Amino acid sequence: MCGIIGFAGREEAAPILLEGLARMEYRGYDSAGIAVRSEERGLQVKKTKGRLQALFDLTHGGADLEGPLGIGHTRWATHGEPNDINAHPHISEKGNIALVHNGIIENYLEIKEHLIRQGVHFTSDTDTEVVAQLLEFHYNECHSMLEAVGRVLRRIEGSYAFGIICSDYPNALIAARKDSPLILGYGKGGNFIASDVTAIIKYTRDVAYMDDGEIAVVTADHIDVFDAELTPVEKQHSLVDWDVSAAEKGGYAHFMYKEILEQPEAVRKTISPRIREGRVVLDEFSMTAEEAQSISRIFIIACGSSYHVGMVSKYNWERLLRRPVEVCLASEFRYSDPLVDEHSLVIVISQSGETLDTMAAMREAKRLRGRTLAIVNVVGSSIAREADHVLYTWAGPEIAVATTKAYSTQLVLMDLVGLYLGDLLGTVDRAEYDAILSELQALPEKMRAVLADITPIQYFASRYFNHDSIFFIGRNLDYAMGLEGSLKLKEISYIHSEAYASGELKHGTISLIEPGTLVVALGTYGPLFDKAMSNVVEVKARGAEVLAVTTETFRERMEKTADATVAVPDTHPVLQPSLGVVPLQLFAYYVALQRGCDIDKPRNLAKSVTVE
Ligand code: M6R
């Protein structure tokens, strides 16, 4: 989604802004722009539709804009089509205020009409321009930028992160946030604002996370933060625990490929600090046995791949915990009048920690007095800070839009939480607890073994990449894993794909199977392997071409029926999706590669979805 960077320092701002925007390209955008201020030339603004390269060319790499103070933005259109005029920064009518914005202003039309009646002229279709004009309106009344920003924030409704510069303020940029992330960066030669830490990580790892309602005044030497009443606020600094190399491709063709390969290590980092002396220890989420007993219902809420993690956990947790587990799409949950109460444990899963629907669902759960636990990757993100408890997945920065390592670390963290709760509830016996825990610790090595043998998957991708519709089938955990395999494929290769619970085929979908239809059959879940095989036979009988993913134990049997088979190492059945998903990720990757798709930045998609 949209990205913001701002810089106040002593060197030229434009190249720094362009570089920061480039580091946020992965989030998805359709236009970009920068505004820079200098003593001699005042405010200078350049913006354009299209890729950042277009902005780079337009500004000659930033050389055309002069000054040590500036803001930059990558836009993902919400109000008004992607074009040069609707791109940010937006400028007030008199031209002395430039503003960039992430989020949505809900009452912009009403304010726009009011301003039009006051004689203000608008040039764009955006909600953001309304804020720039309103700010100028109030600034003309009170002649203090801070006061004017305060007045604007009291007037607008919706979500926002703002970066603002004003030609009357040569040294300072102003930032404000509500429901959209904004980070303050304390650098050596200047200070920063950014919506995403990757934008500024090259310059500083010393950051502070702005809270809702806060306003920051950023100069080269200071960052002063105020609350909504303009009372100064002391911010706590955090040190980002990864460096710039973690957010770079490091010689790989795509971030997605790099991130697939990083999975064993990411999984190890997520698991190992949480296993001590043969027990799961969750320092950030400890509960007494009585508290655990008082949980009558568990909700897992998420979107996209994070939701698919919830699907796997539902199967596992209901078996291990003997408690009802409901998995909910955040966008549905928030409007469904959910049956959450003080006996509900509500788990929200989010890589970014900024997904608006997930955040809104979590707030609704909190309002209903549910106890919330967030499983999040991005440290300091909004969901992480608002949840009652947070457990971080230690996947490191995930840049590719299609998630891989974040999904895998979410899975294992949910396995750990399941074991922890099962132990407290007394529903998992000691032998099974030990068996799962020991297999969890063996997962990184087994994932490495899968990744060491990717040639067959490359071959299958080159054999099947031309299909225009692909079905994933499986039962139980294989079905949940198929949902993720199918999403991976469709989001990066643009091939139509659906995942079905195999047993449902005969209730309708099997009518779509005809000679040559590609079916990816998942048969890794041992307890239901025989049933899964019957479904493979069923689709083969109708002429389907079957690519199967199974385990070493079942390889031979599967090979007798399927046209092509990939086998992953065996592990405890509840953990099998952690291994089975890897060939599916690789299959999607190589199919997309064959089709020449923009793998890291698929069309129409954004890395974190901060609008509804
Ligand atoms: O950051 P989140 O985990 O909350 O994001 C949820 C989905 O938007 C995300 O998983 C999306 O489906 C990915 N593109 C899948 O690869």
As a whole number of angstroms, the distance between CA 503 and CA 510 comes to 10
Cα 607 to ligand 1 centroid, rounded to whole Å: 7
pLDDT at 79: 82
Asked if the peptide bond before residue 89 counts as cis, ω within 30 degrees of 0, the response is yes
Could you give the CA distance from residue 220 to residue 129 in angstroms, rounded to a whole number? 27
pLDDT at 383: 94
Q: Give the Å distance between the CA of 351 and the centre of ligand 1.
A: 7
CA distance 485 to 488: 5
pTM: 0.82
17 assigned to some structural domain: yes
Q: Is the CB of 585 under 6 A from ligand 1?
A: no
In a domain, 233, yes or no: yes
CATH of the domain at 84: 3.60.20.10
pLDDT of res. 250? 81
Q: Which domain holds residue 308?
A: 255-451
**Domain end: 228, 247, 266, which one?**
247
| 607 domain-assigned | no
Q: Is 398 in the pocket of ligand 1 (CB under 6 A)?
A: no
Q: Does residue 570 share a domain with residue 465? A: yes
Domain count, the chain: 3
Q: Which atom of ligand 1 is nearest to the CA of 308?
A: 10
159 lines ligand 1 (CB under 6 A): no
**Domain closes at, from 451, 468, 492:** 451
Statement to judge: residues 373 and 416 lie in one domain: yes
Claim to verify: residue 295 and residue 418 sit in the same structural domain? yes
> pLDDT for 330-346, tens place per residue?
999 988 999 999 999 99
Does one domain contain both 432 and 463? no
Q: To test ligand 1's pocket by mutation, which of 382, 413, 609 has the most ligand atoms within 8 angstroms of CB?
A: 609
Question: Using CA positions, which residue lies closest to atom 11 of ligand 1?
Answer: 304
Q: What is the largest CA-CA distance in the chain?
A: 80
Which residues partner with 33 through β-bridges? 47, 73
User: What Å distances lie between residue 285 and 92, 275, 281, 375, CA to CA?
Assistant: 48, 14, 9, 11
Same domain for 229 and 352: no
Query: Are residues 143 and 274 located together in one domain of the fold?
Result: no
Residues 423 and 464 in one domain: no
Is there a single domain that holds both residue 400 and residue 475? no
Q: Is the CB of 492 under 6 A from ligand 1?
A: no
Q: Is residue 274 part of a domain?
A: yes
pLDDT of residue 30: 87
CATH no. for residue 302?
3.40.50.10490
Task: State the Cα–Cα distance between residues 463 and 53, nearest whole angstrom.
Answer: 35
pLDDT tens digits along 24-78: 887 778 899 999 999 999 999 999 999 899 999 999 999 999 999 999 999 988 7
Please report the pLDDT score of residue 1 as a whole number. 66
* 226 shares a domain with 333: no
CA atoms in the 13 A half-sphere facing the CB of 462: 5
Same domain, 486 and 364: no
Does 564 fall in a domain? yes
Question: Which secondary-structure segment (H or E) carries 483?
Answer: helix 477-493
The atom of ligand 1 lying closest to the CA of 304 is 12
Read out DSSP for 152-179? Answer: HHHH--EEEEEEEEETT-SS-EEEEEES
User: Is 197 contained in some domain?
Assistant: yes
CA–CA dist 475, 67 (Å, integer): 61
Catalytic residue numbers read 2, 607
Does residue 600 sit within a domain? Answer: no
Q: Is the CB of 403 under 6 A from ligand 1?
A: yes
- Is residue 488 located within the same domain as residue 442? no
Q: In this structure, is residue 602 part of a structural domain?
A: no
At residue 183, the pLDDT reads 96
Are both 236 and 268 inside the same structural domain? no
Mean pLDDT by 10 residues, the chain (612 residues): 92 97 85 95 95 95 96 89 92 95 94 96 95 97 94 95 94 93 95 95 95 96 95 94 81 92 97 95 92 96 98 97 96 92 97 94 97 95 94 94 97 98 96 97 98 90 89 97 98 95 90 92 96 94 95 96 96 98 96 90 83 74
Answer with the one of 247, 277, 304 that is the final residue of a domain: 247
Q: Which of 195, 256, 306, 401 to mutate to test the pocket of ligand 1 (most atoms within 8 A of CB)?
A: 306
